[in-house]
Amino acid sequence: MRRLRRTGRKRPADTLLAAVTATGLALTASGCVTVHGERELIPATNRTEAAQALKDFTEAFNKADKAYDPTLDAGRVTGPLGEINQAGLRSRQVTSPGGNKDHQPLELTDARYVIPRKAGWPRWFVADTDSNRDEDQGPGDNRWVLVFVRAAAAQPWQVAYLSILTPDEIPAFRTEAGYAVPVAADAKDLAVAPAALGERYVSFLKDGQQGPFAAGPHTTEWRAERKKAASRPGLATQYVDQPENRGDFAPLGLATEDGGALVFFATRYFERQTAAPGYRPKVGADVKALMTGQLKNTVTKRWVSSQAVLVKPAGTAADGVVVVGRLQGVTAAEGS
């Protein structure tokens, strides 16, 4: 992934907390110590391990970006970011087989870690970092917010979500015993439960009934852009959106001090472009490198999109969900 497509107005990151890790221990009647990770609230990691995970990700990302070789960071990415990253690198392998001549090493500094406690697996934490890839360099510039996940202790930490946000888009997080508080997928105390966000977002993009979503570049303006694209002379464009909650695409959220939550969730969508008889849709080299089939007059692009949203407490009548970031990329295409 040489360049990640950040949509909407130029923005940046969030600012997160810190952490420590411990092991949930319970004394048995015999006096032995037993680990009950499946029941006890255990910090997902500690600051040292989190820093190492960030370092491992950055090193792998840079190797892959320099060589345009998806195998070099495949073990450090997963979920929506993983699909976008790996597809981008596969495409660049075709368009630039000699590697990335313009490679600039990614640097992630000033890391702040938000580490929740939870029972069982998977576990996850957030790293809020300053990036040298910001479009707006200087004080208060964009920050990269990465969500690291792993499903078992033997597995490496992998980045599933990346959001590029401004500091003022990062809320104050609620803590208990010094750790961030994760929100349940089916949380009833939020305007929309995390597990329902994908379905509600897809419904909004289809029918335009705003419901809980506040107006902005990733909601009302995004629908307006689609509507405009659908009616270009000689080219018809259709969109089909799908929620995605499985595996490492599952929504992840942290409780905020105001009673709401910051939630990351993913969707997929298909963009089908059909040209008038005798014409072909224009397809860029990056998409063509991922394309199967024979392009005649139709191309269907498959996108993965990840969103970062601020969800207000339950009972919020309107604007209960504010989409503060969206990162998307083409992961496959088919010509016909």
C-alpha to C-alpha distance for 181 and 173, rounded to whole angstroms: 8
| β-pair type (117-118, 175-176) | unpaired
Contact 91, 289 (CB under 8 A): yes
What share of the chain in percent tops pLDDT 90? 81
Ranges 20-29, 137-146, 205-214, 316-325: which has the least confidence: 20-29
Which three-class secondary structure string do you get for 150-191?
Answer: ECCCCCCCEEEEEEEECHHHCCCECEECCEECECCCCCCCEC
Is the pTM above the cut of 0.85?
yes
15 pLDDT more than 80:
no
Q: Give the pLDDT band (50/70/90) at residue 1.
A: very low
- 33 pLDDT more than 90: no
SS3 state of residue 44: coil
Which tens digit of pLDDT belongs to each residue from 204-241? Answer: 999 987 679 999 999 999 999 999 988 888 999 999 99
Two tokens at 99? 């590697």
- What ranges do the domains of the chain cover? 5-335
